[in-house]
Structure formats: structure tokens, C-alpha cells
Structure 1
Amino acid sequence: MDKSKRNHITGHVNRNYKDRLFRCIFKEKQDLLDLYNAINGTEYDNPNELEITTLEDVVYLGMKNDLSFIIDDIMNLYEHQSSFNPNMALRGLVYFAELYRKYILINDINIYGSTKIKLPVPQYIVFYNGSEEEPDRKEIRLTELFYPQEKVAQPAVECIAVMLNINYGHNLELMEKCRKLKEYAYFIRIIREYLNKGDKIETAVNCAIEICIQKEILKDILQKNRSEVLNVILTEFDENLYSKSLREEGREEGIIEGKKEGMKAFIELCQEIKISKDETRNKLIEKFKLQKEEAEEYLIKYWK
């Protein structure tokens, strides 16, 4: 990928913005409690029973964790992802380690004593609304990242991220139980519809905001915080574009390296079976679609 293009993309990203939209929508305790009830089939009605534990000052891989809280001795970690990340379980392990460290300090728990301590049970939910097709529910396990190991019967640690697809049309039962989640999914769907028609991201977001306000979807948030919502969406869009560009660049570099290795192996094979240097050059030009000068460079480099 062209470096100027990469710099152009990164130049649009404001990494100091306050919150992601998903977090903005569920930052009120009542809305977060509604989401928890919808996921777990519970009926808690007192938002004060919910203790927010989000790590405001902890940054891992450049991103704060979205939401964490404790209710009924369950430590919940909620993350929103607009692209599939197979390493979320590892992120969860790091977050939970810090959450438990903080929990132990706040509650003055002695982990070195002879008395068995009690800890809240961890629950890790990843809300996915990327453009790639994913199932309604998917488990991502930390142990899937470990090197194959026959000498160890059971790994010492495990962390399971439960990924829920919250694209509009997925997890219908969950959406019906949590209005804010359904409205968020609809808002993102409208933005994508405009993008698919060829509109610019700014136009798509503004049109989606107008439509949703008219339909009283996320109306309170969109009316009061329109500029902030626009800024957040544009930032998230730029970050996703940047990440995608890096992946594409990595694939391009991988293809180039693979082609080099293929030519090296081909030249070595020609030498082994006694094909002349001139004939090998001609075969390189034909097989790898090279110019004569390029083929000569590889011959100089790999011909022994």
C-alpha cells in the first residue's frame, strides 16, 4: 500500500475522542441494566444494584475497554467490535486481571492468607456489528491461541469471549428485549445503506440521524449530541479504514514475499536439473511475467 495513502488515513483519526457510540448509548445505569437483563434473562429493576467498574485510565492496544460492571456477584465486561477480532479472549484476560487487581485493592482482600477468598464470576460479552457475516452467537477461547502442546494436559488459564452479532436482523429475541440495542443496530444499518449507495460517510451519518430522529430512534441521544455522534462515527470509520488498509498492505507484502520465494526455488531447481542460465532467464520471464531486467536481477541474487 502507498505510504502517502496510509498517512492520509491516519491523519483523519482523532484518538482523543471521549467515547465510542456504543458506550455513549449504554453509559446510563438503567440502559446498561436493561442490556444485562436482556442477555441473561433476568429482571433486575434497581439500577443502583449495578456497580460500574470500567477502567477509565487503562489502555490496551490503543483502546479503552467499553463497559464493565458488577451485579449480583458477576463481573461483566462488555466490548463492542466493528470488525471480527480472533484475539478478544486475550484482551479479556488482560482486562479481567486488572479488574480483579482493582477489586482486591478496593475490598482490602488478603490473597496471602489461609482463608479462601470469594470473587465475582467473570462474564465477557463482545457485541459485533461488522460487515462480515458472522453467526448470532460465537465463543472465542483463549486456549485456541496457544501453541499445540502434548506435554500439558490442561492449560493453566482460559478466558471465553461470547460474541453476539448485533447487526440488524440478528439475535431478534435479544433485540426485542433491549430497545436501545435494537435502535443502535437500526441506526448503523441506515448508515450502511447510504454508504452502499455511494454517499460519503458524513452524508450517510447525517441522513441516518435525520431518519432516526423522525422515527424517534435514539432520539434523545441524537438530538442532544448530534455533533459528538457525528465525530464518533467518523473516527470509528477512519480507524476501521486504517486497520483494513494495514491488513491489505500486509497481504500485498505477503504476496510479494511469496513470489520472491517462488522465484528463488525455481532458479535453484533449474540449476539442479542443469538448465542453462539463459534458458532459466527466459523461463522466469514467461512464468513470472517479468521484464528482462527484473529476471536478470533475480538471477544475480539467487543463481549460485
Structure 2
Amino acid sequence: MSEKENVVTKDYKDRLFQFIFGQADHKDWTLSLYNAVNDSDYADPEAIEFNTIKEALYLGMHNDVSFIIAQEMNLYEHQSTYNPNMPLRQMQYVSGAYEAYVKKHKLNKYGVTQVMLPTPHLIVFYNGAREVDDCVILNLSDAFSEDTRDTSDIQVRVKMLNINAGRNKKLMEQCRPLFEYAWVMDTSRRYKLEGHEDPVDETIRIMPMDFVIRDFIMAHREEVKDMLLTEYNEAASHELFQLEGERIGREITSVRDIRKIMEKMNYSAEEAMDLLDVPRELREKYAKEL
């Protein structure tokens, strides 16, 4: 393993998907994912040009992984909870990516000559608890009024691929790193639900020796543990407060919800209220009722 592979930047601390598929040292994994999604056979990893949006440059906006290859701009996101608003988010991401592309290539968007841009492809890799089909198309127009959506001058389409265990088998077979990533996420989640004392450590311990991502995971064991625990807690908090039907989202309904977070995640009252974004003016009242 090269010395470069042992260097972890702060940019990759928050999502395991980004940590694996957004690494300049492992463009071969990214290319494998691209080929599997598009049923293509590109062979040169160096054809990948990363253009992932960084939070510091875009006022709090950042995406998981984006890159350009063969005049296509690919924006890949991972979601552990079902989110119908991904077309809106991806529209914001691709706008930022195009802004950076125009600036980098010194393109004149005010000129009389047609500016040529890479074709966008927006993909979400989903492994949440909610049952969805192998492939779901999410449309920005679903956010518009039914009376006017057909007249919209903008449409954004996002393809959501289910990467839970047993789903999209052809995709998983064509991209070994994706199969292994999905295995890590599924196994750690299952151990957590079964009450294992340290589900992440146990997942890493039993990871098959022939996994191509194994050495990389082992080299960054502590960072990976932190990522998985963070992702699990975030997903659990969202799942607790998702409502089916017209309103699907996180809601604070009572002190009982704070107690649920405290019990399920072993949080203090203050930490639970932070996670739930409880307004400051209500915290003292809720604390007295706990």
C-alpha cells in the first residue's frame, strides 16, 4: 500500500461512500462503479476527473462524489433513508458543478457561441429500511402543483438504485467495490439491530479476506468506525420520525420522542434535543418532563 493511501483528509470524514468512491488513489473503484451503472467498459481510471463540490467553497453545500468522464458529468449520492427531495438537491449540486466547470475552462456563457457542457447523470444509491424497487425514478416535477407541473420549463430526473442485500444483483456483480461497500453497511446495521456491543468492530473483524476494499478499510479503521457510527445514528434518527403518506419527514411530537432517542442511542437529554433540533425556548420545559 502506498504512503499516499495512508493519508486521510478532513474532506472525507463524513460518508463512507465518499471515502471509498471519491479517492484519487482508487479511481479504479470509481470507474468500476461508473461502468456498472452505465453498462460500459472504460478501462483507464485516469480518465476520471473528480469535481466533487466542497463545502468550504459553496457555503455549506457539498455532495458525495461527482466526476467527469467521456463528456459526462456524474453526480453520485448515497442515501440510507428514502428522500423524494433528491431531485432538488441534485439540481443544486449540478448547478454548483457547472459553475465550477465554466470557471475552470474559462467559458463565456454571455457570448454568441454555444458553450458545450458535459451531459449530467444523477444517481442515488439507496440502502434504507423502506422497501423500494431496484430502480426508482425521482422527478423534480413531483414537487410542483399537479395543476401546473406539466407546464414546467424545468425537469430534473434522478435515478435511485437500491443497493440493499439481494437487490440489483447484476449491478453488484459488475462492481465488486459496490457489493463490498453494501455488505459493510448491511452487516453493521444488522449487528446493531441485534444488539451487538460493538457492531462496527465486529463487521470489520469478519470482513472476508478477499474483499478488494479490505486493506483500505483496515488502514483507516478508526475513521471508518466513526463514519459508520455517524451514518447509523443519522439514519436511525430519520427513521424514527418518518411518516408515511403525504408527509414523510422528521417531526417532534412530544417528550416521548426525546426519550426514544436517549434510549436507542444512549444520548443525554441535551444531545437528543440537539439531534432533534428542539428550539431553545422549549428545552427547559421538556427537560423538566423527562
TM-score grouping bracket, smaller chain normalisation: 0.7 to 0.9
Amino acid in structure 1 at the alignment position of 2:163: I
Of the candidates 164, 173, 186, which is equivalent to residue 167 of structure 1? 164
The question of whether the paired residues in 2 share the 8 Å contact of 1:59 and 1:65 is answered with no
What is the TM-score when the length of structure 2 is the normalising length? 0.75
Q: Deviations over 1:268-300 (max 9, x none)?
A: xxxxxxxxxxxxxxxxxxxxxxxxxxxxxxxxx
Residue 101 of structure 1 deviates from its aligned partner by 1.0
What residue is the counterpart of 2:138 in the other structure? Answer: 140
Structure 1 unmatched runs, 5+: 1-14, 254-304
- Within 1, Cα distance between the matches of 2:81 and 2:99? 29
- Within 2, Cα distance between the matches of 1:148 and 1:251? 29
What residue is the counterpart of 1:232 in the other structure? Answer: 227
- Within 1, Cα distance between the matches of 2:225 and 2:169? 27
The question of whether the paired residues in 1 share the 8 Å contact of 2:54 and 2:61 is answered with no
CA 1:60–1:158: 2 relative to 1, 3 Å: farther
Of the candidates 202, 206, 209, which is equivalent to residue 201 of structure 2? 206
Higher Cα radius of gyration? 1
Q: How many residues align?
A: 236
Residue 60 of structure 1 deviates from its aligned partner by 8.1
Determine whether 1:250 maps to 2:251: yes
Determine whether 1:116 maps to 2:114: yes
Structure 2 unmatched runs, 5+: 1-9, 244-249, 255-290
CA 1:60–1:90: 2 relative to 1, 3 Å: farther
Q: Quick check: which one's helix share is greater? A: 1
- Within 2, Cα distance between the matches of 1:174 and 1:191? 21
Residue 125 of structure 1 deviates from its aligned partner by 0.3
Residue 193 of structure 1 deviates from its aligned partner by 2.6
The question of whether the paired residues in 2 share the 8 Å contact of 1:128 and 1:165 is answered with yes
What is the TM-score when the length of structure 1 is the normalising length? 0.71
Q: How does 1:19-168 map to 2 (within 5 A)?
A: 19-26=14-21, 27=23, 28-57=26-55, 64-150=62-148, 154-168=151-165
Of the candidates 165, 184, 188, which is equivalent to residue 187 of structure 1? 184
- Within 2, Cα distance between the matches of 1:137 and 1:61? 32
What residue is the counterpart of 1:288 in the other structure? Answer: none
Query: Which range is displaced more, 32-41 or 51-60?
Result: 51-60
Q: Which has the higher contact order (CA 8 A, sep 6+)?
A: 1
Q: Deviations over 1:59-108 (max 9, x none)?
A: 88966300001111101000000000000000011111111111111111
